[in-house]
Structure 1
Amino acid sequence: MKIGLMGFEFNSANKGCEALVYSFLNIIKDYLEINTEIYNFSGTQLGEVPSYFSNFVFINVEPKLKDLSFNYIKKLSKCDLIFDVTMGDSFSDIYSESFYQGLIRHKRIAELVCKKYVLLPQTYGPFYSINSEKIAKKVFDKAYRIYCRDEISKKMLQNKFGITNSILTSDMAFVLPYDKNSYKFSNKEKIGINVSGLLYRGGFHTENQFGLSLVYSELIDKIIVNLSLKYEIHLIPHVIDLTEQPYDDDFKICRILHEKYPNTILAPAFKTPIQAKSYISNMDIFIGSRMHSTIASFSSGVVTIPISYSRKFEGLFGSLDYPYVINAKLENTDSAYALVMRYIENRADLSESQKKSMQLIEDKNKVFKDSILSILKEI
């Protein structure tokens, strides 16, 4: 069997994107033959992944559509299955229409030449242009199977695109493995804060690109100043790019804040999402702005307070009946801070709600795993 992976970032600054690779391969590894060929069509290097999954043979394919040898298309046509996750949240024109158009082009070709093309659990939309919707429908109509990670996406597929057979699961990163004992900590009560460098500087391209109604930098500073009076504060990056001029990075902002507030602890520059989750799992409370950082804390039993800049947060946690998400597009700085303090004070309620949510996750992940294995058995 030959399996192609699209929209997975094997070696990425974004540990959330990497988490999807590790999680999906962890789900299917026991059901595939040794030396199964895994084709990576993401355009990233393989990174640390092969060392965790030595039973697979990994083949890196540069996604160059203009390659005169047609090597990319030939490799696509070899695959029995293409599994596409679109980085979890990028099946949308929210980040830019040109970026979206590039992703769609690869999906369309994969559907044409591969035997079966499967859209793995992800967020679909929002779509801000009619043209984005039209080309999305072409992809949906050709997909062999479509999984959603939230109810908002499932309802949109049905109401806007007439897709009635999509399967609701949850984010695959909830099953990412971790080792809590791989880090040593003090006995103090610990609050981990994932500071998003993206939000701290206003977005990828423009000031306040995501239309926040609060001042994110002021909120983070206020949280650190006040919580550090009582708790041990850990500043935890989840997007880590150590180059001089990173496109997207949390680590440098965390380091600047650590220098500004030296009573905080700066978490390491993690190499893998497993390392990041292992560190996060030792927190007592976690406040996060990168969605996959909050998935790491949530699924390791840490009381979790997500700060949302996109409906993917509300979609995912709403599907889990977890209402303790702070919407940075609705709250102002003071009201968001007040919610953080209230949720910390009422952490027992959050913990109880998380336990119920995790049961939902287990049920949904069983549905997903059984469904994926049924596809593999068809080949």
Structure 2
Amino acid sequence: MKIGLIGFEFESANKGCEALVYSFISIIKDWLAPEDFIYNFSGTNLGVVPDYFGDINFVNVYPKIKDLKLKYIRALLSCDVIFDVTMGDSFSDIYSEKYFKELVRHKKLAQFCCKNYVLLPQTYGPFINKVSSDMASTILKKASSVFSRDEMSKKMLEKTFKITDVKLVSDMAFVLPYEKSAKSDNKKKRIGINVSGMLYKGGFNSENQFDLVLDYKKFISIIIERLIDNYEVHLIPHVIDLIENAYDDDYRICKKLNNEYPMTRLASAFVTPIDAKNYISQMDIFVGARMHATIAAFSSGVVTIPVSYSRKFEGLYGSLNYPYVINGKYETTESAVEKTIEYINNCTYLQVAQRASMEIIEKKNALLLNEMCEIMKNLR
């Protein structure tokens, strides 16, 4: 059997993107035979396959459409099934229309080459313009299976695109493995703050790309100042790109803030998403603006306060009956700060809500496992 992966990254600055491939392989590995191959069609960041995956046969194939040898197309044609996760949240034109059009080109080609094309759990939309919406409709209607990680996306797919068989599960990163070591003897509670370098600079184009009412830079500084005397504050990156003039990076911003506030503690530049989750799991409370950083906290039992710049947050956590999200598109800096402090002071209520949410997640994970089992068995 030959399996194709699209929208995954084995080696990425974004530990959330890496978390998806680690989680997905952990889900399907029991159905893999020694002779099976997995083609990795991940684009520019093909990466080195980590030792974590053992003896699985991976083949990196650069997704170059204009290739006289047709290596990419031949590999797509040979696949028995293609799984596409679109980095979890990129099936949208909010990041740029050009980027979305390029994604769609590869999705269309994958569907043409392989009848078993599965859209794994992800957020769908929003779509700012009709052209993007029409392109998305074509992909969605031709997919053999469509999984959504949130109720909001599912309802949108049903209402806008008339997709009637959307399977509602949860984000695959909730099953990412981790190890939780013993905490130190410090009597202060640990608060982890995941600082998004993307939001700190105003978005990828540095012009308040996501139309936030919240002044994110000011919000982060005030939160640190309000917490630093009573808590052990950890600054935790989840997108880590150490090259000069990196397109997207949290680590440098965390380091800058650590210099400004030397009483904070700076987390290391994590190598794998498991390293990141191991560290995050040591916190008592976590405030984060990177989706998969908050998922790492939530799924390891840490009281979690997500800071939203996109409806993907409200979609995911709303599906889990967890309302404790700071919406940067509606909250002012002052109201966001006060609401965050209120949640921290009443963290016991959040903890109770999280436990109930994890019961929902476990049921959704079981559904995903059953569906994956059926897909894999039907390929044999």
- For Structure 1 versus Structure 2, the TM-score category normalised by the shorter chain is over 0.9
For structure 1, which runs of at least 5 residues remain unmatched after alignment? none
Contact 1:88 1:121 in 2 (8 A): yes
- Residue of structure 2 in register with 1:146 after alignment: 146
Separation of aligned partners in 2, 1:49 and 1:243: 21
- Residue of structure 1 in register with 2:30 after alignment: 30
Any idea what the Cα deviations from partners look like across 1:62-117, whole Å, max 9, x if unmatched? 01111111110000011111000000001000000000000000000000111310
**1:47 offset after TM fit, Å?**
3.9
Separation of aligned partners in 1, 2:266 and 2:34: 40
- Residue of structure 2 in register with 1:57 after alignment: 57
Q: Secondary structure at the match of 2:83?
A: strand
Scaled by the length of structure 1, the TM-score of the pair is 0.98
- Residue of structure 2 in register with 1:79 after alignment: 79
Q: Does 1:230 align with 2:225?
A: no
Classify 1:203/1:372 alpha carbon distance in 2 versus 1 (closer, same or farther; 3 Å): same
Contact 1:41 1:60 in 2 (8 A): yes
Classify 1:206/1:46 alpha carbon distance in 2 versus 1 (closer, same or farther; 3 Å): closer
Q: Does 1:279 align with 2:279?
A: yes
Q: Secondary structure at the match of 2:87?
A: coil
**1:32 offset after TM fit, Å?**
1.3
**1:135 offset after TM fit, Å?**
1.0
- Residue of structure 2 in register with 1:120 after alignment: 120
**1:45 offset after TM fit, Å?**
4.7
- Residue of structure 2 in register with 1:345 after alignment: 345
Any idea what the Cα deviations from partners look like across 1:211-239, whole Å, max 9, x if unmatched? 01011011100011110110000000000
Any idea what the Cα deviations from partners look like across 1:228-278, whole Å, max 9, x if unmatched? 110000000000000011000000000000000000000000011000000
Q: Does 1:371 align with 2:358?
A: no
Contact 2:137 2:161 in 1 (8 A): yes
Separation of aligned partners in 2, 1:270 and 1:212: 28
Q: Percent identity?
A: 61
Contact 1:45 1:60 in 2 (8 A): no
Which amino acid is the alignment partner of residue 265 of structure 1?
R
Separation of aligned partners in 2, 1:120 and 1:143: 10
Contact 1:39 1:58 in 2 (8 A): yes
Separation of aligned partners in 2, 1:261 and 1:69: 55
- Residue of structure 2 in register with 1:17 after alignment: 17
Q: Secondary structure at the match of 2:293?
A: helix
Separation of aligned partners in 2, 1:234 and 1:263: 9
Any idea what the Cα deviations from partners look like across 1:144-200, whole Å, max 9, x if unmatched? 00000001110011100010101000000000001122x874533200000000001
- Residue of structure 2 in register with 1:325 after alignment: 325
Residues 107-116 or 183-192, more deviating:
183-192
- Residue of structure 2 in register with 1:267 after alignment: 267
- Residue of structure 1 in register with 2:162 after alignment: 162
**1:44 offset after TM fit, Å?**
4.3
Q: Secondary structure at the match of 1:28?
A: helix
Q: Secondary structure at the match of 1:121?
A: strand
Q: Does 1:95 align with 2:95?
A: yes
Contact 1:35 1:55 in 2 (8 A): no
Scaled by the length of structure 2, the TM-score of the pair is 0.98
**1:50 offset after TM fit, Å?**
3.4
- Residue of structure 2 in register with 1:336 after alignment: 336
Residues 200-209 or 272-281, more deviating:
200-209
Contact 2:115 2:144 in 1 (8 A): no
**1:46 offset after TM fit, Å?**
5.0
Contact 2:49 2:58 in 1 (8 A): no
For structure 2, which runs of at least 5 residues remain unmatched after alignment? none
Which amino acid is the alignment partner of residue 86 of structure 2?
T
Separation of aligned partners in 1, 2:147 and 2:224: 38
Residues 73-82 or 47-56, more deviating:
47-56
Q: Where do residues 166-315 of structure 1 align in structure 2 (5 Å cutoff)?
A: 166-181=166-181, 185-187=184-186, 188-315=188-315
Any idea what the Cα deviations from partners look like across 1:269-289, whole Å, max 9, x if unmatched? 001100000000000000000
Separation of aligned partners in 2, 1:49 and 1:366: 27
Separation of aligned partners in 1, 2:357 and 2:30: 26
**1:49 offset after TM fit, Å?**
3.8
Separation of aligned partners in 2, 1:241 and 1:319: 32
**1:305 offset after TM fit, Å?**
0.4
Q: Secondary structure at the match of 2:108?
A: helix
- Count of aligned pairs between the two proteins: 378
Separation of aligned partners in 2, 1:33 and 1:198: 41
Which amino acid is the alignment partner of residue 193 of structure 1?
I
Separation of aligned partners in 2, 1:307 and 1:324: 9
